[in-house]
Amino acid sequence: MKAEKSIENTIFMNMVIVIIVGTLILGFTRVTKEYFEFISETESLRKDYIERQKILIENEVNKVIDYIEFERSQVGENGEYTDEIEKTLQNKITKWVSQIHYGYKNDQYMYIGNYKGIQVASGGFPEFIGKNIWDLEDDNGVKVIQKQIKLGRENPEGIFFKGHWLRKGSNKTSEKLYFVKSVPDWEWIVGTGIYIDEIEEVINLKKEELKNQYKEEMIETIIIFLCIIFIIRFLTNRTNEKINKNIKVFISFFEKASKEKVYINIGKINYSELKELAISLNRMIEERNKVENKIIEVNNKLKKLSITDGLTGLYNHKYMYETIEEEMEKSKEKNTSLCVIMYDIDRFKKVNDIYGHQCGDMVLKKVAECIKNHVGHMGVVGRYGGEEFLVILPEQNLYDAYEIGEEIRNKIKKLSFEHEELKITISGGIVQLKSESPEELVNKADHLLYEAKENGRDRIEK
């Protein structure tokens, strides 16, 4: 004869099952949402990274082109431009280009090839210099050099394109984003590029790590609630009144758990078995919070990478424009002053030419650190581009901003470097907000900066 079921116990058990299933769904939904938010943000970060790298490699190619034009103009001013002089000048430039390395890890390089496919300079593959690599193919059968020459000749202003190229120390090729530009008179193609899969490696590593955490969290959740079912079944013979009081504590917890980080108050639980359940749930919440905190930490790191300059650690161009827009709104709301200063290191190109790019990078870092330390909490400092720095000074009028700017300029002059004879000065332009747009405000500061350059450098115009 079957034992009669208690209606009260049946209702009680069904309620517990609903709570358990609901909590599993909530936990699954929450972790899944966080995972896909991470995936969505990585796509944005990937695009931003590629855009920043495109600006970087285009600037590096243009620097080489500008240097070639400068050297050729100097030879033309000093006398007759013969074939022998031209050959000497080309040798000088190719040696210089073969020594150029740049980028966050200093592993990116420049190269020059001629229209016949002969590599005349390469900072990454010196073994190719002097060789004809016209018919060199990548893993997809594309003749890389022929493609670069064709695109460079057809696009005199330069062009971006994707291709595959060898990795140093490997026989395999990887996808690369190139920028090339031609020097028609010399039949040269000047180019550089970055491997796209570098950011993919970082992002994929984080994805895999998050997937593993996700799986472990779900397994732990299932195991814990299997234990809960067993414990709840054991407690069904206890006094219903006390059990119901304890269940209300759990219900309150589950209702809040989907919206906020809460723990069960162990002091309100009467039964030791339910206390064990509460401890297990609190441990589960604690572990879930750790996973959430790790995800937040990873997202914060990726966000920081998207708004900071890799060399100096200052905020980047994009973030500075966003900050100017925010500070302009605050200035209008509070009716307070707002000034910006645009700095540029004087004769910085000569520093790179004479002492090399590593020394140039050290100069950029020291100048950035000096400006940032002096400005402190008074404003925001960023690297605008190349050797230019932008300072935003909220609640500072033109007179006070000029005083701050002059203090910074004088400090820069006193900086010391590994080369004792090296002395650095900066020029600047200061402007106070009136009714300009962010672009107009920065352009005014930039115009004043170039006035300072024309008036002798090592000065600030306002």
Provide the CATH number for the domain around residue 448.
3.30.70.270
Question: Given this model, what pLDDT does residue 95 score?
Answer: 94
CB 114 within 8 A of CB 189: yes
- Considering 42-56, 186-200, 204-218, 429-443, the range whose residues carry the highest mean pLDDT is 429-443
Backbone angles phi, psi at 99, to 5 degrees: -100, -5
For residue 31, being part of any structural domain is answered with: yes
Please check whether residue 231 lies inside any domain of the structure.
yes
Of 161, 195, 229, which residue is a domain's last? 195
Pick the catalytic residue from 387, 388, 407, 418.
387
Question: Would residue 387 show up in a list of annotated catalytic residues for this protein?
Answer: yes
Taking the C-alpha atoms of residue 249 and residue 263, their distance in angstroms, rounded to an integer, is 11
Asked if residue 278 and residue 214 are part of one domain, the reply reads yes
Kind of pairing, strands 426-432 and 108-114? unpaired
Q: Are residues 170 and 137 in the same domain?
A: yes
- Using an 8 Å Cβ cutoff, are 304 and 43 in contact? no
Residue 234's domain comprises 7-46+200-307
Q: Which helix (H) or strand (E) holds 252?
A: helix 240-257
Cα separation, 175 vs 170, in Å, equals: 14
Residue at a domain's end among 282, 307, 332: 307
Report pTM.
0.41
Claim to verify: residue 347 and residue 457 sit in the same structural domain: yes
At 221-266, the pLDDT tens digits run 667 666 766 666 666 666 566 666 666 766 766 666 656 667 677 7
Q: What percent of the chain has pLDDT over 70?
A: 73
> In the predicted model, is pLDDT for residue 428 greater than 90?
yes
Q: Could you tell me if residue 61 is inside a domain?
A: no
Q: Which are the contacts of 178, defined by CB distance < 8 A and separation ≥ 6?
A: 57, 148, 160, 161, 162, 163, 191, 192, 193
Q: What pLDDT is stored for residue 79 in this prediction?
A: 62
Residues 289 and 414 in one domain: no
pLDDT in tens, 190-218: 999 988 776 666 566 666 766 676 677 66
pLDDT at 377 over 90: yes
Residue 352 has pLDDT above 70, yes or no: yes
Residue 24 above 80 pLDDT? no
Residues 456, 355 share a domain: yes
Would you say residue 65 lies in a domain?
no
Query: Average pLDDT, whole number, for the chain?
Result: 83
Pairing of strands 119-122, 108-114: antiparallel
pLDDT for res 38: 60
Averaged pLDDT, 337-356: 95
Number of domains present in the structure of the chain? 3
Looking from the CA of 9 toward its CB, the CA atoms found within 13 Å total: 11
Q: What is the pLDDT of residues 276-320, one digit of tens each?
A: 777 877 777 777 777 667 777 766 666 667 789 989 999 999 999
